[in-house]
Amino acid sequence: MSYNIIWNNNNVIINFIEKPSVKQVMRINEKIIGDPRFDSMEYQLWDFRYTKEIKRVEEIEEDQIKIIATLDMSSMYWNRNIKIALVSKNPYIKKMIIQYSNFMAETSWQCKLFEDMKDALKWCKSK
């Protein structure tokens, strides 16, 4: 498995160890949304700091990111207020995160890009 899911009460931290695939992200989303803790979740922290294999943003295309965002939007039925912190220094992953954030901009979920895990967690826990 190239990722870890760590639950912290009703919140979740996802650590990627290798190059993430769209299927993995969708599988993780299914696990999170299907978990009873999702309804009370306040934040998700997606840690891409150790995924250095992606060399080009084209490896995950914009329409695939849109699919992920659309699935997240549909899950707002169960929880309308979640913070999504995305952590990466990789410029190509950052481009994908910005695309995702743009798709989510008109929703009630807050998305923010970080380079530092400590700052991301601090933002997640802020009210």
Structure tokens at 1: 């498995």
**What's the pLDDT at 56?**
46
**pLDDT, tens digit, 9 for 90 and up, residues 51-81:** 765 544 445 677 778 888 878 777 877 888 9
User: For 90, phi and psi rounded to 5 degrees?
Assistant: -65, 120
Query: 5: which strand partners?
Result: 14
Q: How is residue 56 annotated by DSSP? A: -
Residue spans of alpha helices (H) in the chain: 22-34, 62-74, 91-104, 117-125
Tell me the pTM: 0.84
Domains (range + CATH), the chain: 3-125 (3.30.750.24)
**pLDDT, tens digit, 9 for 90 and up, residues 24-56:** 888 898 899 999 999 999 999 999 888 765 544
